[in-house]
A and B are shown apart, each in its own frame.
Chain A
Amino acid sequence: MSGLPKKNFNRKKACKFCTDKEMAIDYKDYKTLDLFLSERFKIVPRRISGNCAYHQRQLTMAVKRARSLALIGYSPTLE
């Protein structure tokens, strides 16, 4: 192959919950959940966050629980 080295686009991201033992998924811990929400309060997809399927499933559940308890919003508030 000639030219510039090809950029590796499929670099494997590590699941944060698998690598960091301190982190846990809990619907009450809205500050951790906040790390996985977009600007519009959407859940960041696995393809972006790099979470594993197991933890992404748990995260989704936790975010939805936290939303119903008004710990995190469904959408950014208009102010």
Chain B
Amino acid sequence: MQTRNYETVFITNPMAPEAKVSELKARVNQIIEASKGRVINWDDWGKRKMAYPIRKEHKGHYFCFTYSADNKGVAELERNLRINEDVFRFLTVKLDEKVDPLQAIQAFKTRLEAHAKREKERAERDAERAAQRAQVRRPEEYAPAPGDQGPEDEE
């Protein structure tokens, strides 16, 4: 059987005990090895807020892994994820054959870092501007504005 590279992201219940999650991880590894493939990379994105609640949970524990397997391996893997009660969602994507998976992961990570850096810079800049604005405004607030010195009825 021909093996291909795939990537699967799955979300587990954040309340699930550690042992159950590591058990699932071991299971995944076992399935992939059984289909003559191997896990290329395993990433734990941690518990993060989801864009919308799934099964009344606002947070989810995200895992993302890249691996090679044959089509039966992927089917078996998905079957297991579907059965597992702690798994909220999963998504398997066939990877581009022309791109080296490790390089793609690296590129993704550097892009994430760039986003984080840009956000940090923006936050700093906003804080700086807010401070400047506060400084500029303060003297105006205490000084009486022109034309605001009472009614002009001196005639």
Q: Contact residues of A with B, CB < 8 Å?
A: 22, 24, 26-29, 31-32, 65, 67-74, 77
Contact = CB atoms under 8 A, between A and B. Distances in A.
B93 A70 contact: no
Interface residues of B, number: 18
A70 B9 contact: no
B52 interface: yes
B64 A68 contact: no
Interface in B79-117: 89, 91, 93, 107-108, 111-112, 114-115
Given A28-B9, A70-B60, A74-B51, 6 more contacts: A22-B111, A24-B111, A27-B93, A29-B111, A68-B91, A74-B52
Contacts of A77: 51-52
Contact of A70 (B50, B64, B114): B50
